[in-house]
Structure 1
Amino acid sequence: MILIAAFFYTPQTPFPGAAALLPIIGTLAVIWAGAPQLRWAPLGWMKLRTVQWVGDTSYSIYLWHWPLLILAPFVLLRELDTPIKLALVALTIVLAGLTKKLVEDPLRSGPLLAGKRPRKTFIFALCATAIVLLAGFGALAVLNHRKAADRQKTANLLGGGVRCLGAAARDPEHQPCVNPKLRYSASPSPATAREMAAPHDPTAANRSVLCQGGLKIIGELQLCTFGVRANKAKRHIVEIGDSHGRRWRPGLNVAALQAGWRVTSIIRRACPLSSRPRGGPTDRQGCDQWKPQLVKWMAANPQIDTLFVTQSTGTGKSSIRFDSEVKGYLDGFKLLPASIKHIVVLRDNPRAGRNTLDCVERAVAAGKPTGAACALPRKAALIPDPLAAAARSLNKPNVGVVDLTPFYCSARFCFVVIGGVLVHSDPHHQTELWNRTLVPYLLRELERGQWLDR
């Protein structure tokens, strides 16, 4: 059980929680078993000097491993690949061995504490704890300062009228658009991008956009409303989707304030408005309740006449699955109440690679052009979007697809840094800054398509 937890638990495993029972029960079983004299019992290798040494040094290993693994990505400004992780394990073992020999053993059995009064021992322990805490708080302060400086830089870029920033660098109508000052930079930094709220975290809803009146919970629905006030709105819009839709909230807020919209964003992971289920059993059970509640809520708010939809494309590896997804979305459109007069689908964004942010960090450190250094083949990055295909197949004047792919990709490549702006915060989510730079072109496409006017 311990080995299963060690090798099969991932960052997505809910921990702590019920999953913690597996290694706990496994540990209790090992203790209960004691030292059985059985042929298949692992007593032989447990008596090896190396194993005995690891056991003796385990507390020092425990103390050293977590600060090294936690702080290393921020100090190195990159994700930890396998060679770095192995190096940190080796460093942990070396430091643990030195700590046990030079600190732990002398303090435990030496004259400094041996035979001393409990008060003196307590004072020494308190001082040691204070040193560890101060070191941790100091490192945290440095990290917070670095993130604050990066956020301020991002704000300055947005408010400074920087030429060819972000999506503007690839505007098909104003090519070429090159700003040499942005060629070797990436904002936000990959380190800051990694710190963005987890896309599946429901409480992240109002971290980037202040939901007017706060995040409202109605049954299975989580409503975040933004844009202009209701009495000033020229149009009422509902945005639905998954975490990709949540990442659009800051950009949609800017667009709404410019265009006079009031937007209610209702997001749920792994739950498209489709007859084809996604996710695991728990996701599906909640989704089956969410969809009828969503349709009922839209019908009860007839002032909302426009639907914006953006959804993760999934893997796109199977043509059979793609066709099934298209049909699922077409079934979903049939559920919409008559009050929804206009539908706008935002074609999903291209993907990045697992090591894309590492690549960007290396390019910045080496002084290489960030846009070209980490570009990905278009065929690999741009996955067919069944939601967009379903919307196009309706062939209705009030249903449109906003496809911003030209701002991401050339005929051969898709770029992860464009106009000095980091596009991705992970393999498939966009950064807030990138979406903000897309806003003028989103509004332009909506105006040209006239889907909202038919």
Structure 2
Amino acid sequence: MPAIRTLETSRKHPSAVREAPATSQFQPEIQGLRAVAVLLVVLYHLWPERLTGGYVGVDVFFVISGFLITSHMYREVQDGSTLGLTRFWARRIRRLLPASLLVLLVSLVAAFLWIPSTLWEVAARQIGASALYVQNWVLATDSVDYSAQHNDASAVQHYWSLSVEEQFYFVWPLLVALLLYIARRPAVASKLGPLSSPRGMMIAGIAFVGATSLIYSVVLTAQSPSVAYFVTPTRVWEFAAGGLAALIFNGRQYSGRLATSLAWAGVALIAYAALTFDSGTPFPGWTAMLPVLGTALVFICSGNPARMTPRWWLSRRPAIFLGDVSYGVYLWHWPLIVVLPFVLRHDLGTWEKLLILLASTLLAWITKLTVEDPLRRGRLLKKSLRAYLFAAVGMVLTVAMCFGLTSAAYSESSPDRSAELGACYGPGALDPANGCGPVIGKETPSPAPALVAKQNTQPLHPGCQADAAGTDIVSCDLGVDASQAKETVAIVGDSHATAWYPALETLAKDRSWHIKTYTKSSCPVTAAVRIQASEKTDSNQRDCLAWGQKVARELAGNKSVGTIFAASYSTAFSFESPDNESFKDPAVDGFAKVWRQWLAAGKKVVVFDDVPRTTGEYVPTCLARQQDALACAVPVNKAIPPNTAITNAAKAMSAEGVKRVVLRNQFCDNKLCYPVVGSMIVYRDFSHISAEYARALAPYIAKQLP
């Protein structure tokens, strides 16, 4: 940690707010704040339902980094030396990369040994991104990518904040160098007056950058909170706040009763945010000002070392020790949280969580003694060139091993046995007439779980499903060309309708269909308002209703479309009447109203029963970690609940001409609904059927069509 001047307290006039004289270059309360920050984060990750806002510990770290790095660079300017950018970055490499790369490599090995192969690709991608310090941008992209939103947390997901810090460490010195260059221009000095000094220019420039970042953070947090949480520009102002505290007060701290009260107020702001914020708090917009301001107040007003002041508490040996190893604790705790449940084969209990807390601290201490300190202070990386070579080799090695892990995941696939198994491959295994033996099959699943899970991140028809937000219609053309088709059909609904694309494409080959797609994430086509409990605002509800109305009108007026297929994950939603209409049963009547509109326009309406529900876990992952596939099966009464709205609506509308496609017997027998049928994996995630199973169901669908 760069040295910072500590200012001791004068014992005269205890009620005054005044500067304290400098006596040392070490501020123990900063190490104590690091201890507080890492404890908040670790306890939040272990008990998120109790310390709901513990994620603000990351923001405390950001302010500390801005304070220390800016102080260090300004001291170099005061001493008359140059910033020495290459030396600065080499110091960052020596300080941060050895432990970081070590934990990444250990996480990679742990993934190979204990984590199911279905998660290897995600783990490898995130470990590689973490090695290159772009993990935050990967997570920001995934947060708006529907196919990646439900990815399980990887063992290095916490590296997003380290990526933000490393990007800051790279850009911040360049900004300071630019400001100093401007300050030293005679033409500038004559116009700016007091601001033309190095300190004045740094304060003005950093304040401008910080204010711009804060405004952007507030705006983006309101528009896209999941993206705003991870991207670097929304966090720059937090570093800037620490930098401004360092420059404006320039090594001064305040003591006296009022100052001590303000320091306690800073602690209280951090604690309030940690205890009251939760996943629904808009963050890191204006709400992040609480922990940021609190941290700055502790810096500025901790000049009083008297007993029971914030500085006294933050300077105790346990706090200093935890602050010293806080970087290692942050690195180690999350891989333990993610990997240990796979090793133990059950969720973490209280004792396991306490063990993780202890083990993280122990591993951090050992890492500091054996890796961090020797490489930071030793001769091996003393020269800047060696430090850069170490970083390059470490990053390349880690990324190469990530490619190896991904390749290993897909090399597990068993050979295609479909021709050999015949009618017993896939849904035919549930037909007693085929005499196939175990429903799940005697062979290992083909394709392998990892390949089936890959369909979540690499969809067959990218861009053919509208996002949850917005009302624009996204439509693709599948099947045979419209000029050669005997009939044009449409498929409408949410992502469960998208999952039926492979089945309809198979039918299109036999029946010369041209297929028009009208699907949208989490949005069934219904006249009712669909409610999804996980949504924090009702904007998607409004968008879904408006989009559904547009699709209903467009298809009713499209004379080329003769048959409309509808599907939905309707058990995932509840339904309410819209403002302008009152339905007796919104779950059923909303679908019925749309279907009547299509029937009146001369269309045939074909409705897929909703597919059976699963355990809620990704089915390929469950299969990859369980020795017995039946452990991933679900009893029929739970897999097919009575509140299946789209099925109930199709039943109610059958007399009016709605055709219902019933495939219960291709998923379940009298007792269980299966994750694997005839050595074919049924689901690609927690609810969507796999492409292979959809194609295999095409003959069963064909039998029920006119």
| TM over 0.5, shorter chain | yes
Q: Is the 8 A contact 2:682 2:690 kept in 1?
A: yes
Shift of 1:411: 1.6
Q: Which residue of 2 aligns with 1:290?
A: 547
What letter corresponds to residue 258 of structure 1 in structure 2?
Answer: D
Contact kept in structure 2, 1:163 and 1:179, CA below 8 Å: no
Residue 394 of structure 1 is matched in structure 2 by 653
Q: 1:284 to 1:216 in 2, by over 3 A?
A: closer
Shift of 1:140: 2.0
Shift in CA distance, 289/344, structure 1 to aligned 2, threshold 3 Å: same
CA spacing shift, 1:245–1:316, aligned 2, 3 Å: closer
Cα separation, partners in 2 of 1:16 and 1:43, compared to 1, 3 Å: farther
Q: 1:222 maps to which residue?
A: 474
Q: Flag the 1:77–1:94 CA change in 2: closer, same or farther, 3 A.
A: closer
User: Superposed, which structure 2 residues align to 1:164-313 within 5 Å?
Assistant: 164-171=424-431, 174-178=433-437, 182-183=441-442, 185-197=444-456, 207-209=459-461, 220-278=472-530, 279=532, 280-313=537-570
Partners in 2 of 1:135 and 1:61 — Cα distance? 24
Q: Deviations over 1:378-399 (max 9, x none)?
A: 1111123221221222234742
| Residues 410, 337 of structure 1: alpha-carbon distance in 2 compared, 3 angstrom cutoff | closer
Which deviates more, 339-348 or 424-433?
424-433
CA distance in 2, matches of 1:180, 1:391: 29
Q: Single out whichever of 216-225 and 230-239 deviates more from structure 2.
A: 216-225
When the two chains are superposed, the root-mean-square deviation of aligned CA atoms in Å is 4.2
Question: Distance in 2 between the 1:349 and 1:40 partners?
Answer: 62
Structure 2: give runs of 5+ residues left out of the alignment: 1-39, 42-50, 57-142, 144-148, 151-223, 230-281, 578-582
Would you say how many aligned residue pairs link Structure 1 and Structure 2?
Answer: 421
Question: In structure 2, do the counterparts of structure 1 residues 133 and 408 end up closer, same or farther at CA, with 3 Å as the change threshold?
Answer: same
Residue 360 (structure 1) shift: 2.5
1:176, 1:41 → 2: CA distance? 78
Match of 1:346 among 598, 608, 614: 608
Q: What is aligned with 2:368?
A: 100
Q: Which amino acid aligns with 2:320?
A: Q
Alpha-carbon shift at residue 317 of structure 1 (Å): 9.0
Matched-pair contact (CA < 8 Å) for 1:167–1:437: yes
Range moving further from structure 2, 291-300 or 33-42: 33-42
**Shift of residue 111, structure 1, vs aligned partner:** 4.5
Q: Choose the corresponding residue for 2:295, options 16, 28, 31.
A: 31
Cα displacement (A) at 1:284 = 1.9
Q: Structure 2: how far apart are the matches of 1:87 and 1:208?
A: 44
Pick aligned residue for 1:375 from 633, 641, 647: 633
Residue deviations 1:411-445 (CA, integer Å, cap 9, x gap): 22211121112222333222222222212211122
Distance 1:443 1:86 in 2: 56
Instruction: Decide which moves more: 232-241 or 255-264.
Output: 255-264
Shift of 1:48: 5.2
In the aligned structure 1, how far is the partner of 2:515 from the partner of 2:308? 65
Partner of 1:16: 227
Q: C-alpha distance in 1, partners of 2:310/2:505?
A: 61
Q: CA 1:397–1:215 in 2, change beyond 3 Å: closer, same or farther?
A: closer
Are the structure 2 counterparts of residues 382 and 102 from structure 1 closer, same or farther at C-alpha, using a change threshold of 3 Å? same
User: Aligned equivalents of 2:447 and 2:682: distance in 1?
Assistant: 9
SS at match of 1:307: strand
C-alpha separation between the residues in 2 aligned to 1:418 and 1:89?
42
Measure how far apart 1:92 and its partner are: 4.9
Tell me if the contact between 1:375 and 1:414 (Cα under 8 Å) persists in the aligned partners.
yes
What is the DSSP-based 3-state SS (H/G/I as helix, E as strand, rest coil) of the residue aligned with 2:456? coil
Distance (Å, rounded) in 2 between the aligned partners of 1:274 and 1:243: 14
> What is residue 201 of structure 1 aligned with on the other side?
none
State the AA in 1 paired with 2:431: D
Percent identical: 26
Report the CA distance shift for 1:62/1:288 in structure 2 as closer, same or farther (over 3 A).
Answer: same
Aligned twin of 2:92: none
More helix by share: 2
Structure 2 partner of 1:426: 685
Shift in alpha-carbon separation, 1:415–1:89, aligned structure 2, 3 A? farther
Please say if 1:416 is aligned against 2:679: no
The amino acid that maps onto 2:653 is: L
SS of residue matched to 2:529: coil
Can you list the C-alpha shifts for 1:78-129, whole angstroms capped at 9, x where unaligned? 999436888777665444322211222123233455xx5xxx2x32322332
State the 1:45 CA deviation: 6.2
Is the alpha carbon distance of 1:170 and 1:337 closer, same or farther for their aligned partners in structure 2, counting shifts above 3 Å?
A: closer
- Equivalent pair of 2:430/2:669 in contact (CA under 8 Å): no
Cα displacement (A) at 1:5: 4.5
State the distance in 1 between where 2:346 and 2:477 align. 38
Q: Is the 8 A contact 1:295 1:336 kept in 2?
A: yes
The residue identity in structure 1 corresponding to 2:387 is A
For residues 67 and 159 of structure 1, the distance between their equivalents in structure 2, rounded to whole angstroms, comes to 43
Structure of larger gyration radius: 2
The structure-2 alpha-carbon separation of the partners of 1:149 and 1:284, relative to structure 1 and needing over 3 Å to count, comes to same
CA contact (8 A) 1:323 1:386 kept: no
Contact 1:345–1:391 (CA under 8 A) maintained in structure 2:
yes
CA–CA separation in structure 2 for the residues paired with 1:235 and 1:98 = 70
CA shift in 2, pair 1:159/1:224, >3 Å = farther
How far the C-alpha of 1:147 sits from its partner, in A, is 4.1
**Contact 1:216–1:224 (CA under 8 A) maintained in structure 2:** no
